[in-house]
Amino acid sequence: MSAPRRTALVRAPGPRLADGLVSFAERRTVDVDLARRQHDAYTDALRAAGWKVRAVASADACPDAVFVEDALVVSGDVAVLGRAAAPSRAGEAAGAERAARDLGLRVERIEPPGTLDGGDVLQTDRAVYVGLSTRTNEDGICQLARLLGGRPVVPVRVTGALHLKSAVTALPDGSLIGLPDAVDATALPCLRVAPDPAGAHLVVLGPGHVLLAASAPRTAARLAADGLRVTAVDISEFEALDGCVTCLSVLVP
pLDDT of residue 4: 52
**206 pLDDT more than 80:** yes
- Residues with a known catalytic role: 163, 247
- Residue spans of the domains in the chain: they are 7-252
pLDDT of residue 5: 67
What is residue 122's three-state secondary structure? strand
pLDDT of residue 241: 98
Structure confidence at residue 99 as a pLDDT band (50, 70, 90): very high
Of 97-101, 108-112, 122-126, 148-152, give the lowest mean pLDDT range.
Answer: 148-152
What is the spatial distance between Cα 186 and Cα 82, in angstroms, rounded to a whole number?
26
The length of the chain is: 253
**217 pLDDT more than 90:** yes
182 DSSP 8-state letter: G
Whether the CB-CB separation of 10 and 54 falls below 8 Å is answered with yes
Q: pLDDT digit string (tens) for 51-66?
A: 999 999 999 999 999 9
Q: 59 to each of 18, 22, 81, 95, 184, how far by Cα in Å?
A: 14, 19, 15, 7, 34
User: Hey, how many other C-beta atoms are within 10 angstroms of the C-beta on 189?
Assistant: 14
**37 pLDDT more than 80:** yes
Domain 7-252 has CATH 3.30.1330.10: no
Give the pLDDT mean for 83-109.
97
Percent of the chain with pLDDT over 70: 98
Structure confidence at residue 149 as a pLDDT band (50, 70, 90): confident
163 DSSP 8-state letter: S
Longest dimension (CA), the chain: 46
pLDDT of residue 150: 84
Structure confidence at residue 8 as a pLDDT band (50, 70, 90): very high
Q: pLDDT digit string (tens) for 150-191?
A: 899 999 999 999 999 999 999 999 999 999 999 999 999 999
Residue 192 β-bridge partners: 177
pLDDT of residue 1: 47
Higher pLDDT, 170 or 2: 170
pLDDT of residue 169: 98
Phi, then psi, of 181 in degrees rounded to 5: -75, -10
Give the pLDDT mean for 209-217.
98
